[in-house]
Amino acid sequence: QVLLVESGGGLVQAGVSLRLSCAASGRALSTYTMGWFRQAPGKEREFVATISWSGYSTYYADSLKGRFTISRDNAKNTVKLQMNSLKPEDTAVYYCAAARTRGWGMTTADEYDYWGQGTQVTVSS
């Protein structure tokens, strides 16, 4: 069992940066593929980014490439999402997820086994 806890969300103005963190407990994250998803009000949960267990491979939603960066520190059991040039349309609850499967390009929610409770990001115009 892996317990994931996100932090770092908040209310920010458009154009600024924000960094989300996901801390894991229960098991070492080093064997899990990690991902970030988000869900805006009235919309389905959507894929944001994923990183392989080693950290060498990353994959992003096309619309977010160049603005968002996913990273991990297996020694600290954490995963981060750096979000730059935030836009109002980035407003959503952001979720961290872990998958037992070691893969690349895992973009669907049902590929992930463990989820955090989410952290709210609100971007004002």
Residue 19 has pLDDT above 90, yes or no: yes
Contact (Cβ atoms closer than 8 angstroms) between residue 80 and residue 72? yes
In whole angstroms, give the CA distance from residue 3 to residue 98: 9
pLDDT number for residue 18:
98
For 59-79, what is each residue's pLDDT tens digit? 999 999 999 999 999 999 999
Model confidence pLDDT, tens digit, residues 92-111:
999 999 999 887 889 999 99
Gap between the Cα atoms of 115 and 94, Å rounded: 11
* 40, 43, 48, 50: CA torsion to nearest 10: 120
- The pLDDT of residue 94 is 98
Q: What is the pLDDT of residues 20-62, one digit of tens each?
A: 999 998 888 888 999 999 999 999 999 999 999 999 999 999 9
Q: For the residues 4-13, what does the mean pLDDT come to? A: 97
Pair of tokens at residue 121? 């990001």
pLDDT, position 29? 86
Cα–Cα distance for residue pair 114/99, rounded to 1 Å: 7
C-alpha distances (whole Å) from 80 to each of 3, 42, 118, 124, 125 are 16, 26, 13, 22, 25
pLDDT of amino acid 103: 79
